[in-house]
Every structure is written in C-alpha cells, then in structure tokens.
Amino acid sequence: MPSPTTVSHSRFKGVIQDVQISDGRNVTRIVEFFDLDFSSESEGGEVSRPPAIGRVSLFQVRKGVVSDDTCSPEDPCRNGGTCTVTWNDYQ
C-alpha cells in the first residue's frame, strides 16, 4: 500500500472538456464528469466516442459554464454604464 501523500490544493477556474485517458497504445477511454447528451450534435446517426472509464467522483465541480459575478458587490461601471458579466470579466 502506498504511503499517504500531502496534496497542495490550488484552485482551478476554467472549463474542463473532452477528458480522455489512454494506455499509450490503443485503449482510450473518456472521463464523463456528467451525463453526456449528443442528441443535438448528430443528425440521423450516433456520435462515435470511446467507452467511458466508469463512475467518477467530483468535489466542488459545477456543471456548465460558471463565472464569478464581476459586477457585484460593487458595480465597476461608471457614468450610467450597464455592467454585463462575461467570462470572469465585465464589459
């Protein structure tokens, strides 16, 4: 049994998609963090994809695109401008 390892946690903020694990030869599996729906991607046919690796446990991972509310708590826009949140920024 391996000895316990101390893990330094750093925060990741971004989008994770299309995660695949390969054995370096010819076996590739996808990592499905959430149930995948390919029904709108393909017209009249199945989408070809590798088999899933199996059940994955997630910790503090949100589905979809989530951004910080950069317009709150203090609206950065001045002179009557309207703040609109973009990806972790505002315009």
Give pLDDT, residue 65: 75
3-state secondary structure of 30: strand
Indicate the average pLDDT of the chain.
75
Instruction: For residue 1, give the 3-state DSSP assignment.
Output: coil
Percent of residues, the chain, with pLDDT higher than 90: 0
**Residue 46: what pLDDT?**
65
pLDDT tens-digit readout, 27-70: 888 888 877 666 655 556 666 777 778 778 888 888 877 777 88
